[in-house]
């Protein structure tokens, strides 16, 4: 009996260790991958790229997210896969920094562009001509990412999803609802008045909160959205909490400005809040103070998203994640008490790891100081 | 007889000295305030913030302006007061630089946001729910001010009223003319054709010039506008001249592009010119050369304002002070003969004081050179 | 016989030498011009300014382009001449850097503004009141050029034609189709649906390719467009090839997104591609690799132009050369393999000369290394 329980304990410890190895940034994988074939390396950096969208960096999370997308719609899953591969390969060909490429920095914008092209297309699934703009758009993201990084580098700011936001808007502007080759849905602004207003269903609104996390990948089904949330949880539980909290804040914001019910139910009013919240949660050391700023950032992102959606909706365009990207950039520029918690862009890891590294570093500092004091004393 | 006249002379000298003490930046007040209570300090830095809108920095001018606003409309006065307090307190809580807070740098954007929210609201005065967006908007200004300052600091540029312009546009976009909670007036572009065009009344146009100074604070009454002009005069007579001149240039610009009469009469076509003129008058050492540039800046601001108003009017938005803020930023970036007169942002005082400091500094330089020559001679 | 052929050969050699002296940047002219009268110097730097639009710098090319404009329409030629003179003189008066002024850097934006004001005016030719906005607009370009240069200098980026693009949009926004003093044509977006769609005529489309080069100067006639192409060829044959290639790419892009036939026939869908292609051809050392990037840049510029034209067409505005200017700026910021070929902005010459200087420099380096090796050996 005792032996059995001991075996079970050791087994569960091994499972936990395995899980811990699979969570976080999985830096140990990089050493292991060094002498592997190009295709395998490409797959891993593609999967890392998939998670970069949600500020994560973990190939297993990437696999889960991709599975969620294939689950929601095989066509969307295919588009996403092609997008991340096209832009990563373009980055390799145009000679981008190999560490950046391996970290998946050149994949996520291409992936988002492809997914959104698929979602907005009104030509239906499996419309193979769509692959042309998908390839071109994903490849162009690399140019924008590289150019914008040079520009924003002066302030140690990331190019983030600016390339995606620019390319998808340009694509939608080039084509149109009645375009002969690439027709797409026109977007209705969230502030548009509803002709037959119905009662708001509370349960649907609450359902919109996890959907808000899925909408980051343009996914509007509950199951896959929960799987995506699980993928974030695998990378970092703290980040998953921020995502849910941000989405809830976004929904609250939508309620306070009386947006269309459809916008609340689908999670579209939540995903900018989620991104804004995760950005502060991810780029700053976790503390009570940063947590309050993360909530403020979620509110600001969500309100700005409603404003931009109404503005861009006048010409039939979506606001994508412009709001969250701009607000996150602003938060990174902030001076004052938040700036003390900021992590330099190159050193960002999973929130838990950031916390650990900071406390180690602080402990190290204290020890050093103590030993210095001792030396003085002696 | 002689004694009486002497007493009168000494009395008027004392009055003059008292006035001189009350004009300019009143730096002597800072030393006096150091050991006073927090509430009193907050009041002074709030009043300084009120005057920052018109590039001044004088608590007494701030008091006069606030009185003018209460005179024009008690509700507007209350909103302005709450806005300046809300953003200054947010700056204190988020740990912004205390010298900046004390100088009122974090108050003026919040104040403008609150005033404009009140002016555009179509829910009428004393609609208490409006305090919610007023507080939120004013607080958010601090984030934008801090982030934009970090960004623009590379070129020694001020964040100026960019935060106000961004927040008010986002607010108006979030809500709308038919919004259930926060309805607001739709804005008619100045270039809109008038159905029943009447003769232009010259006196009304001239009346629009001082109103242009009042419109900086969204105040459209003649009496309060003149009081605001008086407040500028108290801080610096030179700046007041620039304000009036710029407003006149703006009105002239409006006439040359045949804007709606309403726009000329209300002073709305003048206030961007006034701001553009004051910016060059305030941030550069006064001289004939800078004065010409100030007039050019007023013309450019006013034309840009008409253009932007027409553009933003297509979606029912006002152009606020975007034009003047952008042109002023451009003038500060200028190379060539104007750049020689530029004062570093941190050292800007009242125009008269700037002139005095410059001539002292030059005199000092000459003396040094002379004494150096003497030394050489001996 | 033999002597005659020898004379002929020497004659043709002399002609060739003369042509070579007239091509490229003609730096030898600067020494010759130093002690000439102000009017002659102004003429030369004005003509240099005319060619700066197409990234060239050669007064003879400038003369040819001006001749082409007078050929197409004497009124447009006059406007162009006045524009380049007005902005160059403003630059002299406002004390801009004299080397920049002499290089024609302050002329090309003013020229483009004047030409476009003339093209969009619906008041007909020889409407003398138009000279007022032409002078004002051209003069303001100097302010924008100087300010933007200070701003973009941090990344070694040129202000390029940003000032022109900003001023012309502001001008068109200030006035309008029904404006009493300065009425202008409303612009139809290229993506607008055609009511009576006809067959596409292949010959007309091909004719649109050289017209695309002429459209850089808002010139829509074949003869003058070919003369402008000849002027580019005189400066640098390589650049002329880039121009034609870029225009062809732009036309292809227009076909792929099914723009209006009118847009293809007139060359309007080609000129942004031409500019985008020339920018990479001009600012980077020529090689197979940069050539591929130039084609990519042409594609990106042309697609972005269609997108922006559709966006700005909703408020009746043209997209001018915003697309090419933004894409060219992006290409200059690019990291990776293209960055190795970049020439610092101050050292850009004609593409052929850049190539020669680079190979000389490399040969010099090799020689130095070799002599260093010899020294070591001895």
pLDDT, one tens digit per residue, over A159-186 is 999 999 999 999 999 988 888 888 888 8
Distance from CA of B88 to the nearest CA of A (A): 14
**C67 Cβ under 8 Å from any chain A Cβ:** no
> Which of C306, C329, C336 is nearest residue A146 as measured by Cβ atoms?
C336
Question: What are the φ/ψ torsions at residue A169 (nearest 5 degrees)?
Answer: -65, -45
So what's the pLDDT on residue A371?
59
Which of C:132-171 have CB within 8 Å of B? Answer: 136, 140, 143-144, 146-151, 154, 169-171
**B113 Cβ under 8 Å from any chain A Cβ:** no
> Which of B144-158, B342-356, C229-243, C319-333 shows the lowest mean pLDDT across its residues?
B342-356
- Nearest CA to A12 among A59, A26, A20? A20
SS3 C183: strand
- pLDDT at B377 exceeding the cut of 70: no
Q: Most B CBs within 10 Å: which of A189, A273, A336, A341, as the mutation test of the B interface? A: A336
Taking residues B44-48, report their average pLDDT: 92
So what's the pLDDT on residue C378?
46
Residue ranges in chain B assigned as alpha helix (H): 2-22, 28-33, 38-52, 59-72, 74-93, 98-102, 108-120, 131-152, 162-174, 202-214, 222-235, 237-256, 261-265, 271-283, 288-313, 322-333, 351-377
Q: How far apart (Å, rounded) are the C-alpha atoms in residues B76 and B125?
A: 8
Residue of A nearest to B163 (CA): A330
pLDDT digits (tens, 9 = 90+) for C78-134: 999 999 999 999 999 999 998 899 989 999 999 999 999 999 999 888 999 999 999
So what's the pLDDT on residue A277?
96
Q: What is the pLDDT confidence band of residue A349, given thresholds at 50, 70 and 90?
A: confident
CATH of C203-378, one of 3.40.190.290, 1.10.3430.10, 3.40.140.10, 1.20.120.1770: 1.10.3430.10
For A43-158, where are the E strands, in sequence order? Answer: none
Which of C:313-332 have CB within 8 Å of A? Answer: 314, 329-331
Distance from CA of B336 to the nearest CA of C (A): 5
**C69 Cβ under 8 Å from any chain A Cβ:** no
**B222 Cβ under 8 Å from any chain C Cβ:** no
Asked if A143 lies within 8 A of C300 by C-beta distance, the reply is yes
**A177 Cβ under 8 Å from any chain C Cβ:** no
- pLDDT at A48 exceeding the cut of 60: yes
Q: Most C CBs within 10 Å: which of A106, A136, A173, as the mutation test of the C interface? A: A173
Domain boundaries, chain C: 34-185, 203-378
Q: How far apart (Å, rounded) are the C-alpha atoms in residues B65 and C267?
A: 57
How many CB pairs below 8 Å do chains B and C form together?
A: 71
- Nearest CA to C272 among C293, C297, C291, C255? C297
Taking residues C5-28, report their average pLDDT: 78
pLDDT cut 70: percent of chain B above it: 94
CATH class belonging to A34-185:
mainly alpha
% helix, strand, coil for chain C, step of 5: 70, 0, 25
Q: Most B CBs within 10 Å: which of C159, C173, C176, C186, as the mutation test of the B interface? A: C173
So what's the pLDDT on residue C186?
83
pLDDT digits (tens, 9 = 90+) for C339-371: 889 999 888 888 988 888 888 877 776 665 555
Q: Determine contact, residues C236/C296, Cβ cutoff 8 Å.
A: no
**C341 Cβ under 8 Å from any chain B Cβ:** no
- pLDDT at A50 exceeding the cut of 70: yes
pTM of the model: 0.91
Q: What is the pLDDT confidence band of residue A2, given thresholds at 50, 70 and 90?
A: low
So what's the pLDDT on residue B378?
46
So what's the pLDDT on residue C193?
67
- pLDDT at A206 exceeding the cut of 50: yes
So what's the pLDDT on residue A378?
45
Q: What is the pLDDT confidence band of residue B272, given thresholds at 50, 70 and 90?
A: very high
So what's the pLDDT on residue A194?
66
- pLDDT at B278 exceeding the cut of 90: yes
For chain C, how many residues are written?
A: 378
So what's the pLDDT on residue C327?
96
So what's the pLDDT on residue A368?
57
Q: What is the pLDDT confidence band of residue C375, given thresholds at 50, 70 and 90?
A: low
pLDDT cut 90: percent of chain B above it: 62
So what's the pLDDT on residue A157?
94
Distance from CA of A309 to the nearest CA of C (A): 15
Can you read off the two tokens belonging to residue A166?
């620019």
ipTM tops the 0.85 cut: yes
So what's the pLDDT on residue B170?
95
Asked if B338 lies within 8 A of C94 by C-beta distance, the reply is yes
- pLDDT at A278 exceeding the cut of 90: yes
Q: How far apart (Å, rounded) are the C-alpha atoms in residues B18 and C45?
A: 58
Q: What is the pLDDT confidence band of residue C22, given thresholds at 50, 70 and 90?
A: confident
Residue of B nearest to A331 (CA): B147
Q: How far apart (Å, rounded) are the C-alpha atoms in residues C13 and C21?
A: 12
- pLDDT at B195 exceeding the cut of 80: no
Chain B residues in contact with C94 by the CB 8 A cut-off are 336-338
HSE of B302 in the Cβ direction (CA atoms, 13 Å)? 35
Asked if A258 lies within 8 A of B96 by C-beta distance, the reply is no
> Which of C191, C296, C335 is nearest residue A146 as measured by Cβ atoms?
C335
Q: How far apart (Å, rounded) are the C-alpha atoms in residues B259 and C372?
A: 74
Chain B residues in contact with C175 by the CB 8 A cut-off are 191, 257
Q: Most B CBs within 10 Å: which of A190, A197, A310, as the mutation test of the B interface? A: A310
So what's the pLDDT on residue B369?
57
- Nearest CA to C236 among C102, C355, C334, C113? C355
pLDDT digits (tens, 9 = 90+) for A289-343: 999 999 999 999 999 999 999 999 998 899 999 999 999 999 999 988 888 899 9
Asked if C170 lies within 8 A of B304 by C-beta distance, the reply is yes
Question: What are the φ/ψ torsions at residue B54 (nearest 5 degrees)?
Answer: -100, 30
Average pLDDT, chain A: 89
Taking residues C25-35, report their average pLDDT: 78
Chain C residues in contact with A146 by the CB 8 A cut-off are 333-336
Taking residues C156-175, report their average pLDDT: 94
Asked if B258 lies within 8 A of C143 by C-beta distance, the reply is no
Chain A residues in contact with B179 by the CB 8 A cut-off are 191, 257-258
**C304 Cβ under 8 Å from any chain A Cβ:** yes
CB contact set of C271 (below 8 Å; sequence gap of 6+): C212, C213, C215, C216, C247, C250, C321, C324
CB contact set of B185 (below 8 Å; sequence gap of 6+): B120, B121, B122, B177
pLDDT cut 70: percent of chain C above it: 94
Distance from CA of A340 to the nearest CA of B (A): 11
So what's the pLDDT on residue B177?
82
So what's the pLDDT on residue B274?
96
Residue A276 C-alpha from the chain's centroid: 10
Taking residues C368-378, report their average pLDDT: 54
**B296 Cβ under 8 Å from any chain C Cβ:** yes
């Amino acid at each position: 009996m005792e032996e059995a329980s001991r075996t079970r304990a050791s087994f569960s410890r091994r499972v936990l260790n395995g899980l811990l190895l699979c969570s976080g940034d999985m830096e140990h994988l990089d050493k292991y991958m060094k002498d592997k074939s190009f295709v395998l390396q490409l797959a891993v950096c593609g999967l890392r790229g998939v998670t970069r969208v949600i500020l994560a960096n973990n190939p297993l999370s990437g696999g889960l997210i991709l599975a969620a997308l294939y689950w929601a719609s095989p066509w969307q899953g295919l588009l996403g896969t092609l997008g991340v591969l096209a832009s990563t390969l373009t980055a390799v060909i145009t000679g981008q920094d190999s560490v950046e490429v391996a970290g998946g920095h050149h994949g996520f914008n291409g992936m988002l562009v492809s997914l959104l092209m698929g979602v907005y297309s009104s030509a239906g699934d499996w419309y193979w001509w769509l692959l042309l703009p998908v390839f071109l758009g994903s490849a162009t993201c690399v140019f924008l990412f590289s150019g914008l990084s040079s520009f924003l580098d002066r302030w140690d700011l990331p190019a983030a999803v600016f390339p995606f936001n620019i390319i998808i808007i340009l694509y939608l502007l080039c084509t149109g609802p009645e375009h002969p080759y690439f027709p797409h849905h026109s977007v209705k602004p969230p502030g548009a008045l509803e002709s037959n207003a119905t009662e708001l269903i509370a349960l649907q609104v609450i359902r919109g909160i996890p959907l808000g996390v899925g909408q980051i990948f343009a996914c509007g089904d509950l199951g896959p959205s929960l799987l995506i949330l699980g993928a974030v949880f695998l990378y970092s539980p703290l980040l998953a909490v921020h995502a849910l909290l941000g989405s809830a804040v976004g929904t609250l914001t939508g309620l306070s400005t009386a947006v269309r019910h459809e916008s609340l139910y689908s999670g579209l009013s939540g995903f900018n809040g989620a991104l804004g919240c995760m950005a502060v949660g991810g780029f700053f050391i976790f503390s009570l103070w940063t947590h309050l700023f993360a909530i403020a950032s979620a509110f600001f992102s969500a309100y700005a998203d409603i404003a931009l959606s109404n503005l861009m909706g006048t010409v039939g365009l979506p606001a994508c994640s412009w709001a969250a990207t701009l607000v996150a950039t602003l938060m990174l520029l902030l001076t004052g008490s938040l700036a003390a918690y900021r992590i330099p862009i190159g050193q960002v890891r999973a929130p838990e790891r950031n916390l650990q590294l900071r406390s180690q570093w602080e402990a190290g500092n204290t020890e050093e100081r103590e030993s210095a004091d001792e030396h003085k004393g002696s």
